[in-house]
Structure 1
Amino acid sequence: MTAGKTRARRGGRRTGSDGGGNRAKASERRATRVRVSRKLKRIQSDDRNDLKPLHLDNIDMGLSHNDVAAQIRVWQFGSGTATPGPGKPESLSLYSFLILWSAVTEDGSPAPIRDVAHAMRYRLTQESAEKLGITDDVYLLTDGRTFWDVKNTDEEETVTFEVSPDALYGRAHSAYTRLMKLVEPYPRVATQHARAIMDVEADVEALESSGFADNMRARMLWLMNAIVHGSLFRFNRAQRRVLLRHWRGSVAIDGTNVPAYAAKFTGGVRKEFRGIRSRKRHHAEAMAGWYVRTGDHGGLTDDGTAPVSDAALKKALWAYEATIAVTVDDANADDAQRVPCLVFGISFDAPAFRIGENSLTALEALAKVASNHDISPGSVVADRAIMPNAKPEKFKEPARKMGFKSCHDYTVNQLGKMAGPIGTIMVEGRLRCPGMPEAQIDATKNFRARQEADAEEPIPEEQSDDAESAEPDGTYRQQLDRRAMFNIKTDGPANRDGEIRISCPATDPHGNVRCPLRELVVSKIENRAQKAKFEAIMNDGRTRVDVENPPDEAVAGEICLAHQASHKVKLDEVTGKYHQDYEYKSPEWQRMYGKREHVETFNKDVKEDGLDDTKRRRGRGMAKQAIATALFFALTNVKRIRAYLNVHRIEHGPIPTDPGPTPLKRRYSDTTTSDEDLAPPNQVAA
């Protein structure tokens, strides 16, 4: 090959008598060639069926529960009933676009904008088009007729429209962009092409310091949860009663990865390039992060103190993380009281960011659904990254104030003895007698050590949760039974303020220990009635375990030395963080903690329904990814609800009709909510 030809292949300059002429002809061909965009190829008639009017009506009914149409108009115009100002009117309202986006997502369509444009023209009935407020020119043909004149005939595939496919796509794209602009926390941060790290960091800092990102993120999360709630409220009241009749308010919370549209092992910023105004390139989906299967999902162990293994890091994905709250059974529910596992709360962020806040957002959204159906809070179960390792004031304390009980596991460094109030000790979530033997205090540590010793190979990190929540062996079970004898007696679970009334198990009628220190204290009581009461309790003939190593009187706390029968104490920062309402590793705890498996099952289903297909979520930006994610979770909810109701019909017969108040016949974009019911335009509705 000559040197000239080599340069030509590499883009160099080639000389020759006809070189200039060939280039001119090629330029002319490129200029005259008509190229149809790939995005428009499917905006033409095909064999897909119409979107059923009832399906669109149901989507609208579900979203109307939270007045989504009115709220979008508040964000747009400052009032739920306001109309756009002067200028070109909307060719497609944002609410109508959201309904169509939801419909094509549930239909399995791969590209939201293109398939919404296709559905606008080819897959609606005339009545649905009018309800959606789609302008008449979309259906106007060049020969003066309308598409409704030829729909479902042989002419349908050959007609020419006044509004071109390109213009129709533009209308759908405009609605998509305008909707996302109303809820995007980080506009212009996610781009089609990677930018310098320093530029991305500067934009993010400006948006967060001004408060813009927080306000818009609250909008985004509100809309996500309105979409998820809509999957339930598209069913009538009788159906919802059947669906939730056995639910007692218990919930499992966990996070799942939402992969960004990116090649594997691309993205991210190495630590040495963060915050130093580096010109190296950031990933285009800049607000995502590395998702690691184990630990806190951000590259650290559950307690955030050490990095996970290199093997786990190699499996990391560049992704967002959706935190979801899933309905689960109570610990004591039998097979006849099973509830369908549904997502009623969701949050969205980068992996391992704001773990407590995101979990609380999901829990509050679920609690709103429970309250709407007069269901009291039950128990909340979560992995160790959420409980107990998230800051208590970010999740556990607010959850307790809402009325939820807690059930969770512990890492190795959280096992054993901690100081409790007024001289008690806390061992794995419960207040205990300070005279408890060391064998019982370290029972779980010893059990885990035996697990490791018996294993032929170290337990992989991704299986550590399963191993540590396994059914105890015989020796461990005996230690747990003995340990329960040393429990400080209470008159019930801690209240919403973390207050609890406790008493020494040696002088409590339901106690199980005999303590020489407590007997000495009782012998010194001068009040005869009080002394006689305690002596009667200590000599009531109950089988009690002897406290062989009570604390010295000089260092004992109030629980041992006080003359009163009970004490009202408040869980402090440490005991409140590690306290839980289930006896750790008890059969009841095992059943409740095992409900976490339902989250994994739901995650598997939603990914099979399309969430794992990044080609169906190609839009760049946190809001675009978040709203698409909410639509997929709503889709899985609807599938599960329909399956549950179908089984109920087979086993118990048809469900009586109770649709609730008859909705007004209106366009989807209209609203019947007054301005006074809505948040001010400069305030985000939560």
Structure 2
Amino acid sequence: MIKRAAIKMIDSIQRRGYPAGHYIVDRAYLPYADSELSKILFGGGYTPVFDYKREDLGKKGATLASGQSGSDKNLDPASGALAHCIIVGGSLYLSFMPAELVDAEVTYQGTIKELERAPITKSDLKKAKSEARALRDQRLREREPYRLRRRGARRPDGSQQYSFPPPEGYGIGFDASTGEIIEPPKQKTVIVPFEVEAKWLQKYPHKSPEWAAYYGLRNTVEGVNNMLKGEKSTDIGNARKRAPRGNTFSALAVGLSIVALNLQKILAFYREQLAKKPLGTANLLLASTYYSEDELRMMRSRTPRERWPDSDPPLRT
């Protein structure tokens, strides 16, 4: 891995004037990397989306981005500004959220591990996993009345204001150990220091449908990486195919390989859109497999213009 590669990439994107969007990374970058990356992302208006190690799926304290526990009372979850808060799955929740909701993902992971060791059939295993996942997802939804929401823009010092949820949503809070009723927080908002938010928090609750939709985009990136490295494609992982040495030549070889792969994917896309029949090795290179220019013109003439405003054929779904 090139040192500070992610920071250099963000700097390059910003210098070119591209708008900030979602920044989706694996655990090598967030939340376990140096806090400098978090500061750049938050400062640039990016929305990080990341995963957690198994041991960090449950309740977390207000750990600093530097990796040390906060000594300031405002960073201490047991007192100060965060006295009523816990961090679970990248979000702030009220501290009296029921334990089965706090441990929803931990319980699910443990259940899956036990099921995979159990002497049951594949069909029963599949059914049991599906039921465990459904229960996990239900508990994640039941967390919502206890979740604090971001409010307004980030402050110049990097801190972020959060709104406490209204009591009407969660009802009465109880202390799990004593059974005593817990008074809801009297304040309506809380300011979360950057050092706390940058370590664990993200916009979308971990494993929620919104989080999964964005994090799943990494599969596309990983798929392209595998194609670049694969023997049937550009095979950049094979050093024997680029005899000259040095970073400059390697960068040039990788860049040209990416261009070649992009051209291959564009060609594959148009082949799929213009094919009259399912594609296979036997007909992939035959002109008769695809619509001709005359056939496309005829298709256009038969299609009402209000449904087909441009000159391109409709994409298949």
**TM-score, structure 1 normalization:** 0.32
Question: Counterpart in 2 of 1:581?
Answer: 203
**Where do 1:510-589 residues align within 5 Å?**
511=166, 513=167, 542-549=168-175, 560=185, 562=187, 565-572=188-195, 574-589=196-211
Q: Distance in 2 between matches of 1:601 and 1:571?
A: 34
Q: Distance in 1 between matches of 2:135 and 2:248?
A: 52
Question: Counterpart in 2 of 1:387?
Answer: 30
The alignment status of 1:452 with 2:142, answered yes or no, reads no
Q: Distance in 1 between matches of 2:23 and 2:244?
A: 34
1:413 maps to which of 33, 55, 58: 55
Question: Counterpart in 1 of 2:93?
Answer: 432
* Aligned-residue offset at 1:634: 2.8
Once the two structures are superposed, what CA deviation does each residue of 1:207-239 show, in whole Å capped at 9, x if it has no partner? xxxxxxxxxxxxxxxxxxxxxxxxxxxxxxxxx
The alignment status of 1:592 with 2:214, answered yes or no, reads yes
Evaluate the alpha carbon distance shift between residue 392 and residue 472 of structure 1 in structure 2; reply closer, same or farther with a 3 A threshold: farther
* Aligned-residue offset at 1:472: 6.6
Q: Is the 8 A contact 2:112 2:132 kept in 1?
A: no
The alignment status of 1:378 with 2:29, answered yes or no, reads no
Question: Counterpart in 1 of 2:262?
Answer: 637
Evaluate the alpha carbon distance shift between residue 494 and residue 479 of structure 1 in structure 2; reply closer, same or farther with a 3 A threshold: farther
The alignment status of 1:653 with 2:311, answered yes or no, reads yes
Q: Is the 8 A contact 2:146 2:170 kept in 1?
A: no
Evaluate the alpha carbon distance shift between residue 627 and residue 638 of structure 1 in structure 2; reply closer, same or farther with a 3 A threshold: same
Evaluate the alpha carbon distance shift between residue 635 and residue 367 of structure 1 in structure 2; reply closer, same or farther with a 3 A threshold: farther
Q: Which amino acid in structure 1 is aligned with residue 101 of structure 2? A: Q
Q: Distance in 1 between matches of 2:156 and 2:41?
A: 9
Q: Which amino acid in structure 1 is aligned with residue 253 of structure 2? A: A
Q: Is the 8 A contact 1:400 1:496 kept in 2?
A: no
Once the two structures are superposed, what CA deviation does each residue of 1:281-331 show, in whole Å capped at 9, x if it has no partner? xxxxxxxxxxxxxxxxxxxxxxxxxxxxxxxxxxxxxxxx5xxxxxxxxxx
The alignment status of 1:397 with 2:57, answered yes or no, reads no
Question: Counterpart in 1 of 2:253?
Answer: 628
**Where do 1:20-31 residues align within 5 Å?**
none
* Aligned-residue offset at 1:566: 2.6
1:619 maps to which of 236, 239, 244: 244
Question: Counterpart in 2 of 1:362?
Answer: 9
Q: Which amino acid in structure 2 is aligned with residue 390 of structure 1? A: A
Once the two structures are superposed, what CA deviation does each residue of 1:377-400 show, in whole Å capped at 9, x if it has no partner? 21111111111111121x222112
Q: Is the 8 A contact 1:378 1:404 kept in 2?
A: yes
Q: Distance in 2 between matches of 1:503 and 1:551?
A: 27
Q: Distance in 2 between matches of 1:633 and 1:487?
A: 43
Question: Counterpart in 1 of 2:69?
Answer: none
Q: Is the 8 A contact 2:145 2:169 kept in 1?
A: no
Q: Distance in 2 between matches of 1:632 and 1:472?
A: 43
1:501 maps to which of 139, 161, 166: 161
* Aligned-residue offset at 1:495: 6.0
Q: Which amino acid in structure 1 is aligned with residue 222 of structure 2? A: E
* Aligned-residue offset at 1:579: 0.9
SS at structure 1 position matched to 2:216? helix
Q: Is the 8 A contact 1:416 1:441 kept in 2?
A: yes
Q: Is the 8 A contact 1:392 1:576 kept in 2?
A: yes
Q: Distance in 2 between matches of 1:654 and 1:484?
A: 44
* Aligned-residue offset at 1:629: 1.8
Which runs of 5 or more structure 1 residues have no equivalent in the other structure?
Answer: 1-320, 322-348, 458-469, 506-510, 514-541, 656-686
1:603 maps to which of 225, 246, 269: 225
* Aligned-residue offset at 1:590: 1.2
Q: Is the 8 A contact 1:416 1:445 kept in 2?
A: yes
Displaced runs of 4+ in structure 1, greater than 6 A? 648-651
* Aligned-residue offset at 1:641: 4.8
Once the two structures are superposed, what CA deviation does each residue of 1:339-392 show, in whole Å capped at 9, x if it has no partner? xxxxxxxxxx3xxxx3xx2122233334555x3xxx532111111111111112
Q: Is the 8 A contact 1:407 1:592 kept in 2?
A: yes
Q: Is the 8 A contact 2:164 2:190 kept in 1?
A: no
SS at structure 2 position matched to 1:502? strand
* Aligned-residue offset at 1:548: 1.3
Once the two structures are superposed, what CA deviation does each residue of 1:617-665 show, in whole Å capped at 9, x if it has no partner? 122333332332222123323444566578599795369xxxxxxxxxx
Evaluate the alpha carbon distance shift between residue 490 and residue 402 of structure 1 in structure 2; reply closer, same or farther with a 3 A threshold: closer
SS at structure 2 position matched to 1:618? coil
Once the two structures are superposed, what CA deviation does each residue of 1:237-269 show, in whole Å capped at 9, x if it has no partner? xxxxxxxxxxxxxxxxxxxxxxxxxxxxxxxxx
* Aligned-residue offset at 1:405: 0.3
Q: Is the 8 A contact 1:488 1:504 kept in 2?
A: yes
SS at structure 2 position matched to 1:612? coil
Evaluate the alpha carbon distance shift between residue 472 and residue 407 of structure 1 in structure 2; reply closer, same or farther with a 3 A threshold: farther
Evaluate the alpha carbon distance shift between residue 567 and residue 496 of structure 1 in structure 2; reply closer, same or farther with a 3 A threshold: same
Evaluate the alpha carbon distance shift between residue 454 and residue 495 of structure 1 in structure 2; reply closer, same or farther with a 3 A threshold: farther
Q: Distance in 2 between matches of 1:391 and 1:499?
A: 18
SS at structure 2 position matched to 1:363? helix
Q: Distance in 2 between matches of 1:360 and 1:644?
A: 33
Q: Percent sequence identity over matched residues?
A: 23
Q: Is the 8 A contact 2:150 2:161 kept in 1?
A: yes
Q: Distance in 1 between matches of 2:189 and 2:50?
A: 28
Once the two structures are superposed, what CA deviation does each residue of 1:124-173 show, in whole Å capped at 9, x if it has no partner? xxxxxxxxxxxxxxxxxxxxxxxxxxxxxxxxxxxxxxxxxxxxxxxxxx
Evaluate the alpha carbon distance shift between residue 639 and residue 364 of structure 1 in structure 2; reply closer, same or farther with a 3 A threshold: farther
Q: Is the 8 A contact 1:402 1:496 kept in 2?
A: no
**Where do 1:3-14 residues align within 5 Å?**
none
Higher relative contact order, chain-length normalized (CA < 8 Å, sep 6+): 1
Q: Which amino acid in structure 1 is aligned with residue 58 of structure 2? A: G
Q: Distance in 2 between matches of 1:377 and 1:472?
A: 37
Q: Which amino acid in structure 2 is aligned with residue 418 of structure 1? A: K
Which runs of 5 or more structure 2 residues have no equivalent in the other structure?
Answer: 63-74, 76-80, 119-129, 275-292, 297-307
Which of structures 1 and 2 has the bigger CA Rg? Answer: 1
Evaluate the alpha carbon distance shift between residue 551 and residue 484 of structure 1 in structure 2; reply closer, same or farther with a 3 A threshold: farther
Q: Is the 8 A contact 2:20 2:46 kept in 1?
A: yes
